[in-house]
Amino acid sequence: MMLDPQARALLDLIEKAAVPPVWQQTPAEAREAYRERRTFTQEPPPPDLATLPLSAPGPHGPIPMRAYRPRDALPSTALPVLVYFHGGGWTIGDLDTHDVLCRQLSRESGCAVVSVDYRMGPEFRYPAAVDDCWAATRWIAAHGADLGMDSERLAVGGDSAGGNLAAVISLMARDGAGIPETRSASTTIPSIRFQLLIYPATEMLAETASMTTNGEGYLLTSRAMAWFMRQYMGEDQPREVIKGWMASPLCARSHAGLAPALILTAGFDPLRDEGRQYADRLSAAGTPAQYVCFERQIHGFVTMTRVIDEARTAVSLCASALRRALGA
């Protein structure tokens, strides 16, 4: 299979610029590099969206969020809502690195989007990110009506590490599994209507073929994934924790009764196989799941609409699936 020429050109530019791999940087350096890269690979933010800063209480403190709403939506209309968790290996990324993508999804789907700035490793290790994403989703479910959102039509989504978190939150919502009430901002258990999982990490100790065949030379490497997982999980987590469903949703005992899902992967991504395996696991359990692999693409391409044309196709596909699933 041939690598997409635009993806190839991007990889060549990165190599020519001698950008250090993430595992040779400190988390702070990696975060800054990720923020700076977006100005080259992302389009200007679409202006036809209204944004609103939000904050949800959580077990580790306030959780910053940013809400998006198409400006042409009537103020009296309660829009379906996507709660979105950004990618970045549970270590890098923030509201700004995924601002353009969230704007694009909101504009094209007609849904409100709420982006969650969850806590990350190594400062806040597992399960802090899960705690924050669960608390934020529950808060939106409880208070969405006050913000012009229809909490009965609620989806969760994310890319890469954010896809991992979205899958975990869907499992928690199905089971009513919550943070103990003394640590939680709300007793509301959200009813998830749809999962949007973009090249999700689904198994922490992935030993898939794609982790080997795509493990070097395609932006995200297997060595980088090992670094990210160390930042998130630490060095001394027992295997039963690493393989537990809150870290590795592929390892959940059951995938039945979950919200319908769209799982999108990239052919030259180390995470390709675990994304496909998750789609297969959902389907085998009777959960409606659509699986689409952009065979010639690399990990992270969906946010690169300035330099990769297929990224626009992928965003439109995701927005269309949201629109159908939530009745936007």
| Contact between residue 151 and residue 144 where contact means Cβ atoms under 8 Å apart | yes
CA angle 77, 80, 85 (to 5 degrees): 135
Could you give the 3-state DSSP secondary structure of residue 198? strand
The CA-atom distances, in angstroms, between 328 and each of 70, 107, 136, 137, 289 are 12, 11, 22, 19, 20
| Contact between residue 30 and residue 66 where contact means Cβ atoms under 8 Å apart | no
Helix (H) or strand (E) holding 10: helix 5-16
| CA dist., res. 246 & res. 221, Å (int) | 23
**Does 143 qualify as catalytic in the annotation?**
no
**Does 236 qualify as catalytic in the annotation?**
no
| CA dist., res. 297 & res. 271, Å (int) | 12
Measured distance between the N- and C-terminal CA atoms of the chain, rounded to whole angstroms: 37
Q: Which one of the listed residues 94, 132, 269, 273 is annotated catalytic?
A: 269
The CA-atom distances, in angstroms, between 74 and each of 60, 70, 71, 92, 174 are 35, 9, 8, 35, 32
| CA dist., res. 223 & res. 239, Å (int) | 19
Helix 309-326 to helix 99-109 angle, to the nearest 10 degrees? 50
Alpha carbon 137 to chain centroid distance? 13
Q: Which one of the listed residues 86, 98, 255, 299 is annotated catalytic?
A: 299
Determine whether 239 is exposed, middle or buried from the number of CB atoms within 10 Å of its CB (0-12, 13-18, 19+): exposed
Could you give the 3-state DSSP secondary structure of residue 9? helix
Within 10 A of 17 (CB to CB), how many other CB atoms are there? 8
**Does 98 qualify as catalytic in the annotation?**
no
Q: Which one of the listed residues 106, 160, 170, 248 is annotated catalytic?
A: 160
Adjacent-strand bridge partners of 142: none
Query: Which residues are tagged catalytic?
Result: 160, 269, 299
